[in-house]
Structure 1
Amino acid sequence: MPLIIIGVGIKYSVDEDFFKNWDSTTAYVLGFIFADGNVCISNRGKYLVVSSVDREIIFKIKNWLKSEHKICSKKPNWPNGKTKFVLRIGNRFIYDSLMLRGLYPNKSLTIDFPIVPKRYLKDFIRGYFDGDGCVYVEKSKGQGERFIVKRLTIVFTSGSKLFLIGLLEALRSNLVIRQSKIYKSNRSFQIRFSTSDSIALFKYLYGNLESEIFLRRKFDIFSYYFRLRFTRVDNYIGDILRCFCKVPYPSG
């Protein structure tokens, strides 16, 4: 059922069955929606809304959903803020499918980690990371004003502590990580991973991908770190980087 109606006489096409079956793309998009999306009901219908300051990922999601809906840009309300790109899809079948996957309106503070098939768990987590995660390289000045790379850090953020508890349990069941603490910040909860844990996460999230189902900007931060700390690159990491880096990555 590819046809939907918004308002009176306005018809847009979208893949209404997108969330009914699991695959890598579906799991990734679902993870991103758990981070930077929401479902809502108005007097005009049921909606999925996905937003990001990264234009690239919103257009990817629109294409994956085979959506003809327009992407709107929303200007920031404060100086130095970033423009946000918003995809709003009115469709009761998509809404109902997402509800079955564990989403609901006003989810931010209470959402639980959903049931995801193990085969697609890393895709879901990578989608969530691209929405509400961050990665950064910390540097400091050494002798002769040269910068020394100190650490690579991955952070997952959520308004729901329950969600992060489930995320941490899911990660522990699939790889060896040392992090075990969830931190409370002013408006949310966070999990922060050390360099060794962040490298293990990189290998888990990006290994054995058949296509570029990720946000390029965040992947490039990992690539930047490994170029600075080449001794951290093993054969597995090297294969990932050579597969997806825009600039050819050295081998050997």
Structure 2
Amino acid sequence: MPRNPGITDEDIIKMYKSGIPFKEMVPIIGLSDRAIRNVMYKNGIDMNREQFSGQPRKHKVNENFFKTWTHEMAWVLGLFVTDGTVNSKIHSISFTQKDESILRLIAEYMDADYILAPITPTRLTPTLIINSKEIKKDLEQLGITANKSLNIPFPDVPEEFLPSFVRGVIDGDGWVQKNGYVMNVTTGSLFFAEGLLSVFQSWNLQSEITKDIENGRNTIYRVKVKGKVDLPKLAKIIYNGVTDKSFIPYKKNRMIKHLK
């Protein structure tokens, strides 16, 4: 079983020390779990028995984070439903973001250790890993499960926290026109698209859903808000009162620059 191109002993050791279980390392590295153990032995690494069984190493995290609605929780949840992944095999979730400052802020809000998955030929974007059975269970109660992209529902978010949640969604899968008056959010779930459209309509925004076929198979839905009046109005709703850094700066700048 050949090692995947570009994977070094140092990469394997970093994966192990980050808490990734052996059965999850196998497809990334291209070696059997026995061969991975041999790399550890060769380099004198003291191994954790729990990782042989596929159980993730415990890291610090506030396991009650998704139990109580706050503006920080709603924003993180919005990011997660768009850029997050629930591991189907182990009690682990992950966030993927090009901007590491966003991942660091998520870890700060969740009182979590800042553990990034190793960069590999198939994983080039920074990915924050959080191991917690309780958090995974709380997300499932919100309707967020593994393989969520095509069927995720729009969570039942209290009205007070909808602006923060929508801001997180836009930060995750939103696109804001640089000089124009269009914002759209892309999703593979019609249920989520219809829920988001309903929120925009409740805010009296000019909005619509369009759809495209991706790679000739899956339908992709785009929920749009557009117009010289409506885009600034959306910006005012989702950024009003935000005093911390819970937003992606360039998206905020493109949305608020039309505000008088």
Deviations 1:99-146 (A, max 9, x none): 1122011010111111000000111111011001011224xxxxxxxx
Question: Gaps spanning 5+ residues in structure 1: where?
Answer: 139-150, 227-231, 235-252
Residue 69 of structure 1: how far off its partner (Å): 4.1
Q: Distance in 2 between matches of 1:73 and 1:55?
A: 14
Alignment partner, residue 58 of structure 1? 103
Bigger shift: residues 61-70 or 103-112: 61-70
Q: Distance in 1 between matches of 2:177 and 2:120?
A: 26
Indicate the SS of the match to 1:213. Answer: coil
Residue 176 of structure 1: how far off its partner (Å): 1.5
Check whether the contact 2:186–2:222 (CA below 8 A) recurs between aligned residues: yes
Give the alignment partner of residue 247 of structure 2, picking from 214, 221, 226.
214
2:135 pairs with 1:112: no
Q: Match of 1:12, as an amino acid?
A: H
Q: Distance in 1 between matches of 2:177 and 2:118?
A: 26
Q: Match of 1:39, as an amino acid?
A: V
TM-score by length of 2: 0.72
Deviations 1:31-51 (A, max 9, x none): 110000021232xx3111111
2:113 pairs with 1:68: yes
Q: Match of 2:259, as an amino acid?
A: V
Q: Distance in 2 between matches of 1:84 and 1:167?
A: 27
Q: Distance in 2 between matches of 1:233 and 1:89?
A: 38
Check whether the contact 2:58–2:131 (CA below 8 A) recurs between aligned residues: no
Alignment partner, residue 137 of structure 1? 178
Q: Match of 2:59, as an amino acid?
A: Y
Q: Distance in 2 between matches of 1:69 and 1:211?
A: 19
Q: Match of 2:86, as an amino acid?
A: V
Give the alignment partner of residue 70 of structure 2, picking from 17, 20, 23.
23
Alignment partner, residue 146 of structure 1? none
Q: Distance in 1 between matches of 2:74 and 2:121?
A: 30
Q: Match of 2:191, as an amino acid?
A: L
Bigger shift: residues 23-32 or 162-171: 162-171
Q: Distance in 1 between matches of 2:115 and 2:193?
A: 32
Q: Match of 1:164, as an amino acid?
A: A
- For the pair shown, the structure with the greater C-alpha radius of gyration is 2
Residue 222 of structure 1: how far off its partner (Å): 3.0
Indicate the SS of the match to 2:82. Answer: helix
Distance 1:92 1:125, change over 3 A: same
2:259 pairs with 1:233: yes
Provide the alpha-carbon RMSD of the alignment: 2.1
Question: Gaps spanning 5+ residues in structure 2: where?
Answer: 1-18, 22-47, 51-56, 215-219
Indicate the SS of the match to 2:171. Answer: helix
2:222 pairs with 1:190: yes
Give the alignment partner of residue 128 of structure 2, picking from 68, 87, 95.
87
TM-score by length of 1: 0.74
Indicate the SS of the match to 1:30. Answer: helix
* Identity level (%): 29
Residue 186 of structure 1: how far off its partner (Å): 2.8
Aligned residue pairs total 203
Q: Distance in 1 between matches of 2:121 and 2:103?
A: 17
Q: Match of 2:163, as an amino acid?
A: K
Equivalence map 1:128-207=2 (5 Å): 128-138=169-179, 151-173=180-202, 175-179=203-207, 181-187=208-214, 188-195=220-227, 196-207=229-240
Residue 221 of structure 1: how far off its partner (Å): 2.6
Residue 85 of structure 1: how far off its partner (Å): 0.8
Q: Distance in 2 between matches of 1:170 and 1:58?
A: 27
Check whether the contact 1:13–1:69 (CA below 8 A) recurs between aligned residues: no
Name the one with the larger strand percent.
1
